[in-house]
Structure 1
Amino acid sequence: MILHTTRILALALSLLFAAMVPSAPAQADEADIAAAARGVVRVVIIGRDGDEIFPIAHGTGFVVAGERIVTNAHVINPAIEDKRLAIGIVPPEGGDAVYARPISVSPRNDLAILATTKPMNLPVLTIAGNPASGQSAVTAIGYPMNVDRAQGLDQNDLFRATPPVLSTGFLSGRRPSREMDTLLHTAPIARGNSGGPLVDNCGRVIGVNSFGAESEGTEAEFFFAVSTRELLPFLRANDIQPQLNALPCRSLAELDAEDEARRQQTLAAEQRRTAAAEAALAMRRDELRRDITYRTIDARTNQMALALLLFIIALAAGGTAYLMHLRADMRMRAISGSVAIVALVAALVAWLTRPAFADIENELEAALNAEQADGEAGADPGDKPSGAILSQATYSCVLDQQRSRVTSAPEQDVEIGWTAQGCVNGRTQYGLNAGDWTRVLVPSSEAAVSVNRFDPEAREYVVERYLLDRDAMSEARERRGKYEAPQCGAGDQAATQLGIDQSTVVSALPDRPNERLVYTCTLAKAGAD
């Protein structure tokens, strides 16, 4: 039961209290809150007079799994006490109202679970895995009666799909009582909000709104929500495995800023490594040039000395040949002359083949290339986290929580079997567009579009999920229906065409996704290069 008193002074005190509360770490993401609201329903207690049905009362509920709705026990208590009354579930947009039946009711902590008689295909709300704490911003989602009255809605309007009302405030801490564990907050709720979710900035449920504190006119208004300490055990006791997320709520703007800072750090580190490598190369070049220059000078000196010695021998042999000529010793003259000629030719060869200073740079480059080749040959390919793209490989990918914005309960580990033609796990063909391998998934039973990207060179897998309303989802499905995705192995042309076709769906999506999952991948098994 909501005890709601409106007083100008109380409102002023509430605003003053809100102003005194420390600012939240980040503003609520409207897209996330809107996505959560699409899983919030109106719970109507229905009476019957002959063939005519009419609403007796109503509250709020939200989807936790399949056709399972959570609400407050006191919302459906009239239908439990009077079997002539029925329970109706009205979706927030499109679709028809359906009946529901209670499958578990817990008066102690004011919780109840309903099962719808027909599938409604509404999004399941994610529940925050960690207990809420601090004084963060919160949003209450529901169907307050005073808003219905202000709009002049009649009884029949309560059976028509209507978006829920969103109200914001601050969490004021846990407030355990003798009966149950509750959260105290300042997000305004009224009669009709009972059973609706209290969500954080990422649209994750942190409590179930139940009742409000009575104001005496001069006091600030506070409201109570049953905490997830009560909700989670209740769901599990009824064999419902909720969609949990215990990660911090972070904005995409924050992640983008961190990514840019990381990119700048990586760029600066790469520049430092490049500068260090260039300095080391310059130092090594100077060392080699000095060594080669010394060797060249030594070699030139030795060959010049050899040329001089041979020239002296040639002169001596020539003089001896001349002397033997004067003595008419033809035999010795021939021998001496031959020695003189050979020595002179050898001297010329030694002189002309001496190392040239111009060859120092060529020898230097050859030495540097040889050292680089030796280094590459001795390197371990497994030391490189990325680089060459393999024609076929299996990658183990792990969610990088620091770089991800998570609003649901995604897989922490993903295995990707990849081929160079863009086939994933032997069954899903990715499209190639502007050098990026991408697959756009538009399911028929879920109000979300996923854009999956895999970069085999950087070894990174990214999933971006867009949680869309009914109209946007219908448009995405219509665009998806205009093309056929090829089977794996259809060829490069088919992959390129798929990339072009998928861009028609991507162009209709919002500027930012609700969720970005970044996976870092390592090579688990390599195929043929």
Structure 2
Amino acid sequence: MIRRLAALFAFLALLSPIAATADPADIDAAARGVVRIVIVEHEGDSVIAVSHGTGFAVSPERIVTNSHVIQQAQDDPNLFIGIVPSDGEEAVYGRVVSVSQRNDLALIATTKAMNLPPLTISGNPETSSGVVTAVGYPMNVDRAQGLGMADIFQATPPVKATGSLAGRRPSRQFDTLLHTAPIARGNSGGPLVDECGRVIGVNSFGAESGSAEAEFYFAVSNRELLPFLRANGVTPQINAMPCRSLADVDAEERQRAQAAASAEEARARAEEQALARRRDEARRGVEFAILDERDNGLALAMLLVVIALGAGGFGWLAHEQEESRKGRIAAGVAVAALVAAAAAWFMRPPFTEVEERLADMLREEMAADETGAMPTPAAAGALVCTLDPARSRIVGAASETVPFEWSSDGCVNGRTQYGLQGGAWSRVFVPADESHVSVNRFDPATGEYRMERYLLSREELAQVRDARRAYEPPACSAGEDAAQELGARQAAILSLLPDQPNERLVYGCKAAE
């Protein structure tokens, strides 16, 4: 029956081409939390390996594997569980925390601190199709490399084998995923991860098949894994976001920037067109106003001339009648009217005044618009930063909001000084007990807060930590020179990091209410 199902799924798999291959950086990052589980016995001062499987960290000191991997150690008190990390750290013993034989799961605690990087569990995994990778320690690869049981205590990177999902399969009374990522003896208990390196299942067993038939394998699904972890007090990192590569995020960011630039160009063109229409309307209004003023001035001048002529005539008559007093008054009125007429004529606005009046009018309108515009709040003081999933690449668990208090001298939350370089503020964090480096950046002009995380190998971390030990970050309010010195010091660490981070969280910050 299993062979017929395998053949059927192989045919269906051929009908659905596999999507793009998994991102090697994500798979490598996940593999750093994968360990070899070795069942050992003591013979005098010697430690002898009896069998081995695979496990992966769900917290710095908790490891998941299959129950059948550690079954021998449970049945025989003379056998012990060893944990061999992949990055060269010292192997330690483990103790059983919980075993669930029903769904082939076991939880092991380290007896010494290992500070393993926990793998992220997919909260909404694809179960019907897609690219998956099995990470573990297959025995046939050890044999091909000439490694015997005495050599498996050496730290070696796990094998990563890629295949595709073939759907969910309830089997052996528990929920499983069927897939084609090759596994062999020794892979048991290792993670099955998606293209973002997130766990979607725990590899358990394979389907029997002949050489001419397709190979299919079963992994315990997250429907079994998550309740098991929670029942044993483990709160794993869960991510239910769609799996997107950083290249996809960057491409969308470029498209978003191009769309914003196009929208800004369209807005500028619309404003220019509106301004041109307003300028034409204003020009016509100014021209009409000047024509009215010129006509009014002409009419006033003519009226005053008429008055002057009338006063002159009256004065002449008064002079003829020897009424000198009346004549003088009439003459004065005539002269005044002529002077006023001349003033009315020459004070008419010239047509050349159109441009000057138009410029003054437009300046007054622009000043009114600027006065009425809402001011942009400065990115300082207490802020609330909200995650923008569309611009982020979320691999682990991410907070939707982050409180963030910013001061103009680069001090965050009153205790962390950011470095200043090239006009940009940033702070590099290198934890002593974790396997990642975080680079946080803040742009006060836009209110953008960006957190990028790099998961590094043991050798890479050693180099970064050496560079970090070379300086001591200044305290807040130490001055701009100290901030610039910190920015220059951090550049040495940034030069050691990969070109792309494993995770990028982008937040938009606004003033807290």
Residue 482 of structure 1: how far off its partner (Å)? 1.7
* Cα displacement string for residues 322-361 of structure 1 (whole angstroms, at most 9, x for unaligned residues): 4544554432231122112211221122122212222222
Query: Do structure 1's residue 474 and structure 2's residue 468 form an aligned pair?
Result: no
RMSD: 2.1
Q: Distance in 1 between matches of 2:357 and 2:472?
A: 60
After TM superposition, the score normalised by the length of structure 2 is: 0.95
Residue 234 of structure 1: how far off its partner (Å)? 0.4
* Cα displacement string for residues 400-441 of structure 1 (whole angstroms, at most 9, x for unaligned residues): 112111111111111111112211111111122222221111
Relative to structure 1, the CA distance from residue 389 to residue 522 in structure 2 (aligned partners, 3 Å threshold; closer, same or farther) is closer
Q: Distance in 1 between matches of 2:459 and 2:411?
A: 32
Query: Do structure 1's residue 83 and structure 2's residue 77 form an aligned pair?
Result: yes
> Structure 2 matches for 1:274-313, cutoff 5 A?
274-313=268-307
User: Could you say which residue in structure 2 is the equivalent of 1:450?
Assistant: 438
Q: Distance in 2 between matches of 1:161 and 1:343?
A: 113
* Structure 1 alignment gaps of length 5 or more: 6-10, 382-386
Query: Do structure 1's residue 389 and structure 2's residue 378 form an aligned pair?
Result: yes
User: Could you say which residue in structure 2 is the equivalent of 1:485?
Assistant: 473
The amino acid that maps onto 2:437 is V
Query: Do structure 1's residue 51 and structure 2's residue 45 form an aligned pair?
Result: yes
Question: Contact 1:86–1:99 (CA<8 Å) still a contact in 2?
Answer: yes
What SS does the aligned partner of 1:416 have? strand
How many residue pairs end up in the alignment?
A: 509
Residue 483 of structure 1: how far off its partner (Å)? 2.0
> 164, 168, 178: which one pairs with 2:158?
164
The amino acid that maps onto 1:489 is S
Residue 176 of structure 1: how far off its partner (Å)? 0.6
Q: Distance in 2 between matches of 1:133 and 1:155?
A: 35
Query: Do structure 1's residue 22 and structure 2's residue 20 form an aligned pair?
Result: no
Name the stretch that deviates more: 174-183 or 72-81: 174-183
User: Could you say which residue in structure 2 is the equivalent of 1:411?
Assistant: 399
What SS does the aligned partner of 2:220 have? strand
Query: Do structure 1's residue 336 and structure 2's residue 330 form an aligned pair?
Result: yes
What SS does the aligned partner of 2:251 have? helix
What SS does the aligned partner of 1:168 have? strand
Query: Do structure 1's residue 346 and structure 2's residue 331 form an aligned pair?
Result: no
The amino acid that maps onto 1:480 is R
Query: Do structure 1's residue 234 and structure 2's residue 223 form an aligned pair?
Result: no
* Cα displacement string for residues 55-76 of structure 1 (whole angstroms, at most 9, x for unaligned residues): 0000000000121010110110
User: Could you say which residue in structure 2 is the equivalent of 1:31?
Assistant: 25
* Structure 2 alignment gaps of length 5 or more: none
The amino acid that maps onto 1:330 is S
User: Could you say which residue in structure 2 is the equivalent of 1:112?
Assistant: 106
What SS does the aligned partner of 1:415 have? strand
Q: Distance in 2 between matches of 1:489 and 1:56?
A: 60
Q: Distance in 2 between matches of 1:470 and 1:17?
A: 42
Residue 36 of structure 1: how far off its partner (Å)? 0.5
Q: Distance in 1 between matches of 2:253 and 2:431?
A: 30
Question: Contact 1:131–1:229 (CA<8 Å) still a contact in 2?
Answer: no
User: Could you say which residue in structure 2 is the equivalent of 1:191?
Assistant: 185
What SS does the aligned partner of 1:351 have? helix
Question: Contact 2:13–2:166 (CA<8 Å) still a contact in 1?
Answer: no
Residue 508 of structure 1: how far off its partner (Å)? 1.6
After TM superposition, the score normalised by the length of structure 1 is: 0.92
User: Could you say which residue in structure 2 is the equivalent of 1:152?
Assistant: 146
The amino acid that maps onto 1:299 is E
What SS does the aligned partner of 2:465 have? helix
Relative to structure 1, the CA distance from residue 154 to residue 217 in structure 2 (aligned partners, 3 Å threshold; closer, same or farther) is closer
User: Could you say which residue in structure 2 is the equivalent of 1:41?
Assistant: 35
Q: Distance in 2 between matches of 1:318 and 1:257?
A: 89
Question: Contact 2:405–2:414 (CA<8 Å) still a contact in 1?
Answer: yes
Question: Contact 2:164–2:180 (CA<8 Å) still a contact in 1?
Answer: yes
Name the stretch that deviates more: 175-184 or 55-64: 175-184
User: Could you say which residue in structure 2 is the equivalent of 1:365?
Assistant: 359
User: Could you say which residue in structure 1 is the equivalent of 2:196?
Assistant: 202
Residue 283 of structure 1: how far off its partner (Å)? 1.5
Name the stretch that deviates more: 116-125 or 309-318: 309-318
The amino acid that maps onto 1:442 is V
Name the stretch that deviates more: 162-171 or 500-509: 500-509
> Structure 2 matches for 1:240-251, cutoff 5 A?
240-251=234-245
Residue 397 of structure 1: how far off its partner (Å)? 1.6
Relative to structure 1, the CA distance from residue 500 to residue 12 in structure 2 (aligned partners, 3 Å threshold; closer, same or farther) is farther
The amino acid that maps onto 2:102 is R
Residue 362 of structure 1: how far off its partner (Å)? 2.3
Question: Contact 1:69–1:115 (CA<8 Å) still a contact in 2?
Answer: yes
Question: Contact 1:72–1:210 (CA<8 Å) still a contact in 2?
Answer: yes
Relative to structure 1, the CA distance from residue 504 to residue 265 in structure 2 (aligned partners, 3 Å threshold; closer, same or farther) is same
Residue 40 of structure 1: how far off its partner (Å)? 0.3
